[in-house]
Amino acid sequence: MLGYAGRILYIDLTTGKTRVEPLNEEYAKKYIGGIGLGMRLWLENASPGVDPLSAENPLVLTVGPIAGTMWPTAGNGHAFVAKSPESHGVGEAKAHGSFGAELKRAGYDAVILKGKAEKPVYVWIDDDSVQLLDASRLMGKSPAETDDAIREELGDYYVRVAAIGPAGEKLARIACIINDKTRAAGRTGLGAVMGSKNVKAIAVRGTRDIVVAKPEEFMEYVKEFHERMKGPATQKYRTLGTPENVLVHNSLACMPTRNYNNASFEGAEKVSGETLNEKFVAKIIGCSSCAMRCEHTVVVPEGPYKGTMTRMEYETLWALGPYCGIDRLDTIIKGMELCNYYGMDAIGAGVIVGFAMDCYEKGILKPEDLGGIEARFGNSKALIQLLEKMGKREGIGDILVDGVKIAGEKIGKGAEKLGQHIKGVEVTGYDLRCLKTAALGFAVSFRGADHNRHGAYAFDVKGKVNRLKAEKGRGKLVRDMEDIYTLIDSFIVCKFSRGTYYKELPDMAKLYTLVTGYEMTPEELKKAGERINNVAKLFNVREGLTRKDDTLPWKVMNLPIPDEGPSKGAYVTQEELDLLLDDYYDSRGWTREGVPTVEKLKELGMDDLMSIVESKEE
């Protein structure tokens, strides 16, 4: 099949040996690429129950079949998969930019890093030549500094680098992997997995041609999508960007504020997408091969953080802003830059600071615990100080940077309830108390609290369902969205472009066919989407996660929204959650314990993974 490079690179960091094996074509058709292929490969390269930060947890890097072509948004993505040090289940995160295209041109669909290097190294993939080079002088550098230093050392400006920062080196469980300086494979702590292998960075240069099966039709289809991308489906991303959500969510009282103590923020206007664009956005740029351009590059024009430049999106703005009660955009931007500098997931980092502030205000954390930081909600100086401490693992930062679940348990005194997470992964910017379809999507998300595994919030926010009600039928809504989203992350298409696939599955099937030459049908593709959700579930089942882990943060189930307005009094009861989970598991054809059945696995052609569930059948 074209599109695929047809090769998988195995790197044993312990011995320094590398080998290349052909890509299993069955896997390609069944799991597509990206996270689907990555999770399948992880399962066969790891033993059950491995410690996420041990040498036995392989780090899998994948691209999709479209990578390296000029298909808008899909030409440039890559994914990392491993066991997450936050959730102890599926860890996966994608990023775009130009790294993925380079890896495909080097001739690989996947790279599997096993073992642990004796000393800090960076992996240098130069087409067929693969080397582990000394990284001792890169230690302590930010991902962006590492990027520059490696390109300088290798003497090639067009080398693409994905690197961890100081947080990843220090095995912080919210550490991310950053490429192209501002693009993060952010969630689930995979930067710590890379750090635990003594790998500082992966540098790639690829020179191969990428050809598609039907070039003329492909180019026509590209042209059509360039036109679609100028239309309404992507308007939000090209204009205000995702920060548009600030005022939308605020007006619905569904924006978690001050660590979920509120659902709306009185300072929303000051941190809105409108204000950001008016005062801070300097340029909107694009990833390699994209015709959309969404990356809002912001620069602080004046004040103490003058000159700070970074990318800004809703989730990170929300976490570092409203979630900490902070209404100063310049501080939020500085916070974002610090997260990129240290290599921390900025969503997780903001939620952690909000948690620490809540602990402080409730007297659980005292000023002396925080090295004198006055961590009141809204104290923008405290945000910066706490992020610095987390990035360096200093003082309280050493505890906090492993995430709110572990920090809550260590701090105790009720802090466990204040840490808002699912499966150990910090929440994102949707108040689940009043968005009950989203609540289900978040609860069952195989990588922990996340809006990007389903996009089920759209039903609630757009008023397509009664967002305050838990009822049967939501299971199917979430399931269908999940099956599309796993395909998006396996192709790998950028989620911002999802609206341009007017016919969804038929459009995606056509793209797959034009690139690979394999006649993919929408039905077969839908099945692949379902299969990928099942393989993710098998990953979690094998690693010991159960129905109990498909749950919601403490406040979502115990603290009704106090804010006057459309969401007042909303929360999710255990009965509601059980109803939603049963409905979802039923629609998936899983047991009420949330385990895929043998029949379901047979139907999906996953007989080779049956042993994972057979022991749980009785």
Partner 1 sequence: MVKIHERKFVSADPDKCVGCQVCEYVCSMTNDKAFNPLKSRIRVVRINQLANLAVTCRLCEDPPCVAACPREALTQSEETGLIAVDKDKCNGCGWCIEACDYGAIMLHPENKVVYVCDLCKDKGEPQCVKWCPEEALDLVTSDVLAQKARITAVKKLFQEAMKIS
**229's tokens:** 């991308």
Q: Which of residues 500-539 bind partner 1 (CB under 8 A)?
A: none
User: Which long-range contacts (C-beta less than 8 Å, at least 24 apart) are formed by 215-222?
Assistant: 217/514, 218/69, 218/71, 218/514, 218/515, 221/510, 221/511, 221/514, 222/70, 222/71, 222/72
Interacting residue with partner 1 among 93, 229, 536, 541 (CB under 8 A): 229
Interacting residue with partner 1 among 16, 286, 499, 517 (CB under 8 A): 286
The gap from C-alpha 536 to its chain's centroid, in whole angstroms, comes to 15
Interacting residue with partner 1 among 70, 150, 240, 577 (CB under 8 A): 70
- For 423-449, give one letter per residue: b (16+ CB within 10 A) or e: bbbbbbbbbbbbbbbbbbbbbbbbbbb
The gap from C-alpha 412 to its chain's centroid, in whole angstroms, comes to 28
By CB under 8 A, residue 50 contacts partner 1: no
Q: Which of residues 395-414 bind partner 1 (CB under 8 A)?
A: none
Q: Which stretch binds partner 1 (CB under 8 A): 166-174, 288-296, 420-428, 465-473?
A: 288-296
The secondary element (H helix, E strand) that includes residue 11 is strand 7-12
Distance in Å, CB of 452 to partner 1, minimum:
23
The answer to whether 508 and 516 are in contact (CB under 8 A) is no
Distance in Å, CB of 299 to partner 1, minimum:
7
Half-sphere exposure of 70 (CA within 13 A, CB side): 13
Distance in Å, CB of 227 to partner 1, minimum:
10
By CB under 8 A, residue 183 contacts partner 1: no
Distance in Å, CB of 230 to partner 1, minimum:
8
Alpha-helical regions (H) of 299-414: 314-320, 329-342, 346-361, 380-392, 396-400, 404-411
Interacting residue with partner 1 among 283, 376, 568, 616 (CB under 8 A): 283
Distance in Å, CB of 260 to partner 1, minimum:
33
Interacting residue with partner 1 among 57, 62, 146, 182 (CB under 8 A): 182
Which is nearer to partner 1, 64 or 429 (by Cβ)? 64
Interacting residue with partner 1 among 13, 175, 204, 291 (CB under 8 A): 291
Distance in Å, CB of 231 to partner 1, minimum:
13
CA–CA separation, 167 and 196 (whole Å): 11
Interacting residue with partner 1 among 94, 141, 181, 258 (CB under 8 A): 181
Which is nearer to partner 1, 20 or 211 (by Cβ)? 211
Q: From 253, 285, 250, select the one nearest 271 (Cα to Cα).
A: 250
Which is nearer to partner 1, 199 or 210 (by Cβ)? 210
By CB under 8 A, residue 282 contacts partner 1: yes
Q: Which stretch binds partner 1 (CB under 8 A): 131-139, 208-216, 559-567, 591-599?
A: 208-216
x-marked contacts with partner 1 along 298-337 as a string, rule CB under 8 A: -x---------x-x--------------------------
By CB under 8 A, residue 96 contacts partner 1: no
Interacting residue with partner 1 among 105, 389, 510, 526 (CB under 8 A): 105
The secondary element (H helix, E strand) that includes residue 522 is helix 522-542
Interacting residue with partner 1 among 48, 215, 303, 367 (CB under 8 A): 215
By CB under 8 A, residue 297 contacts partner 1: yes
- Report how many residues bind partner 1 under the rule CB under 8 A: 39
Q: Which stretch binds partner 1 (CB under 8 A): 248-256, 282-290, 330-338, 416-424?
A: 282-290
Interacting residue with partner 1 among 25, 44, 128, 211 (CB under 8 A): 211
By CB under 8 A, residue 290 contacts partner 1: yes
By CB under 8 A, residue 231 contacts partner 1: no
DSSP 136: G
User: What's the order of all strands across the beta sheet hosting 199-205?
Assistant: 129-134, 121-126, 199-205, 160-163, 177-179, 183-185
Write the CB contacts of 492 (distance below 8 Å, at least 6 apart in sequence).
33, 34, 35, 63, 64, 66, 67, 74, 77, 78, 79, 94, 96, 100
CA–CA separation, 601 and 608 (whole Å): 9
Q: Which stretch binds partner 1 (CB under 8 A): 202-210, 330-338, 359-367, 435-443?
A: 202-210
Which is nearer to partner 1, 310 or 551 (by Cβ)? 310
CA–CA separation, 550 and 557 (whole Å): 13
CA–CA separation, 617 and 462 (whole Å): 40
Q: DSSP string of 538-563? A: HHHHHTT--GGGS---HHHHH----S
Write the CB contacts of 523 (distance below 8 Å, at least 6 apart in sequence).
none
Distance in Å, CB of 390 to partner 1, minimum:
25
By CB under 8 A, residue 69 contacts partner 1: yes
Which is nearer to partner 1, 232 or 412 (by Cβ)? 232
By CB under 8 A, residue 98 contacts partner 1: yes
Interacting residue with partner 1 among 13, 59, 287, 444 (CB under 8 A): 287
**181's tokens:** 């300086």
Q: DSSP string of 468-504? A: T---TTHHHHHHHHHHHHHHHHHHT--GGGGGG-TTS
Look-up of token digits 């990356």 = 295
**222's tokens:** 């590209």
**345's tokens:** 């997931």
By CB under 8 A, residue 289 contacts partner 1: yes
Quick one: 563 exposed, middle or buried, by C-beta within 10 A (0-12, 13-18, 19+)? buried
Q: Which stretch binds partner 1 (CB under 8 A): 270-278, 284-292, 400-408, 544-552?
A: 284-292
Q: Which stretch binds partner 1 (CB under 8 A): 5-13, 193-201, 285-293, 315-323?
A: 285-293
Provide the binding-site residues for partner 1, judged by CB under 8 A: 68-70, 75, 98, 105, 157-158, 181-182, 207-212, 215, 219, 223, 226, 229-230, 282-293, 295, 297, 299, 309, 311
